[in-house]
Amino acid sequence: MSVFKTRQTGLKIIIVGAGKVGTTLVKQLSLEGHDITVIDKDASKVNDITTTYDVMGCVGNGASYLTQVEAGVEDADLIIAVTESDELNLLCCTIAKQFSNCHAISRLRNPDYSKESMYLRDKLGLSMIINPDLETAKNMARVLYLPTALEVRSFAHGQALITKIKIPEGNILDKMTIADLGAKITNNILICGVERGGNVVIPGGSFELCAGDVITVVATSKEQMLFLKSIGFATNQVKNAMIIGGGRSSYYLADILIKKGISVKIIEQNLERCDKLNTLLPKAVIINGDGTNTELLLDEGIETCDAFVPLTGIDEQNAMLALHAKKISSAKLITKINRIGFIDIINSLDLGSVFYPMYITADMILAYVRARTAAPGSNIDTVYHLFDSRAEAITFNVTDDSKVTNKPLRELKIKSNTLISYIGRDAEAIIPTGNDMILKGDTVMVVTMQTGFDDIGDILE
């Protein structure tokens, strides 16, 4: 992805917690020109980050006022607490709010706190509370509602979807150009990205699709379904799901699926956790056993289940379980991966739909930061990283007229590898052509292989 530096002066941001999410945030936010200071008790983690990225480090307790002062909280714009402890994250934000005017974002994962997140956010004056496990579960559930997709994301407050699919051998799309797709199938969807052989392209009308391509499609929910049916993809949701591991992500996912009428079976090794899950999820089937035991999996119906979701805390186990299920069943596979150091290897394996909770968390925080640095006239609603962060899908709320408004899109000089893929106007969803215009009040999605856009005007050369 090309790097596009923001026009505005960067924010002064303190990140408490140098774990996986903290590191992901440091990488992205430092690229975009923000002044970052990282706090962590582990001196080696702080050293690793400060020697890898152009950021400052502070070794100490992020909930300590003196440590925060050393990190510069008194004139900070934002503090982001992403340690492993929910309580510590809340305390970090509360102390920062008491002694400065900075905004505060806290990561909370405990289901008990999740039910009170709105109350906590309002009473503690937080700008945002993020639950990575819950947000990941929501993303997983959307795929299980449309299991022929690799990924499904909602944007524009649910008015439209970004769906990732893989073109199978013999499909009608094989050897079809983007222009022919519009003429022969539908103009009500837009293919905004194609991954082929490890390379990502934002395609033009002459681009020819091939079997094996992973394509990202933007459309309304209704048009997405019609398109998938027209190219031979099933659109019915799964009827049942087998989940391995009974942690937080499993609880959140099971709760969502059960409310949608999907039967859920969870296999969990810890008896005490099984008892708690039985109380929390009375409509689920909870099995006390080793989810990596192949005989147990056979006994519990892995060969015939509609969806198989390994959610253990160990990436290697999740990957091996997904490969095993792929070999002996036709279940829809969902695999959760926590580490990002082996993405190339993960991508070379057929693990179904792969989810990285840290990316989901980072995208939500990045959207907030971009919105804080945006110029008056437009603000960012969501940021999604696509194709392992090689492209971004950004939705802007256009609040004022600007250089991009009131002109046919064909007259705009748009940056290379940048595509206006959706315009939402009142209750209308527009898949834009060159004749369409952006108007004040619109919601606009832009897909780009550049990064750092924080204003709709950044799409122009």
What are the tens digits of pLDDT across the range 128-178? Answer: 999 999 999 999 999 999 999 999 988 877 788 999 999 999 999 999 999
Instruction: Grade residue 375 by pLDDT with cuts at 50, 70 and 90.
Output: low
* pLDDT given at position 140: 96
* pLDDT given at position 154: 87
* pLDDT given at position 2: 44
**Where do we find the tokens 């035991």?**
293
Least trusted range by pLDDT, from 228-237, 291-300, 359-368, 440-449: 359-368
Instruction: Grade residue 113 by pLDDT with cuts at 50, 70 and 90.
Output: confident
Instruction: Grade residue 378 by pLDDT with cuts at 50, 70 and 90.
Output: low
User: 111 or 415: whose pLDDT is higher?
Assistant: 415
Instruction: Grade residue 4 by pLDDT with cuts at 50, 70 and 90.
Output: very low
* pLDDT given at position 13: 97
Least trusted range by pLDDT, from 5-19, 65-79, 232-246, 437-451: 5-19
Instruction: Grade residue 376 by pLDDT with cuts at 50, 70 and 90.
Output: low
Rounded to two decimals, the pTM is 0.85
Percent of the chain with pLDDT over 90: 73
The highest-level CATH class for domain 240-355 is alpha beta
* Mean local confidence (pLDDT), 48-74: 96
The answer as to CATH 3.40.50.300 being correct for domain 2-130 is no
Least trusted range by pLDDT, from 144-158, 172-186, 293-307: 144-158
Give the residue range(s) of CATH 3.40.50.720 domains in the chain: 2-130, 240-355
The highest-level CATH class for domain 136-230 is alpha beta
Question: Going by C-beta distance under 8 Å and a sequence separation of 6 or more, which residues neighbour residue 428?
Answer: none
Average confidence score pLDDT of the chain? 91
Calpha distance 442→433 (Å, rounded): 15
The answer as to CATH 3.30.70.1450 being correct for domain 360-459 is yes
| Nearest Cα to Cα of residue 154 among 341, 360, 317, 353 | 360
Give the residue range(s) of CATH 3.30.70.1450 domains in the chain: 136-230, 360-459
* pLDDT given at position 380: 84
| Nearest Cα to Cα of residue 36 among 6, 8, 72, 12 | 12
Calpha distance 187→181 (Å, rounded): 8
Give the highest mean pLDDT range of 110-114, 222-226, 378-382.
222-226
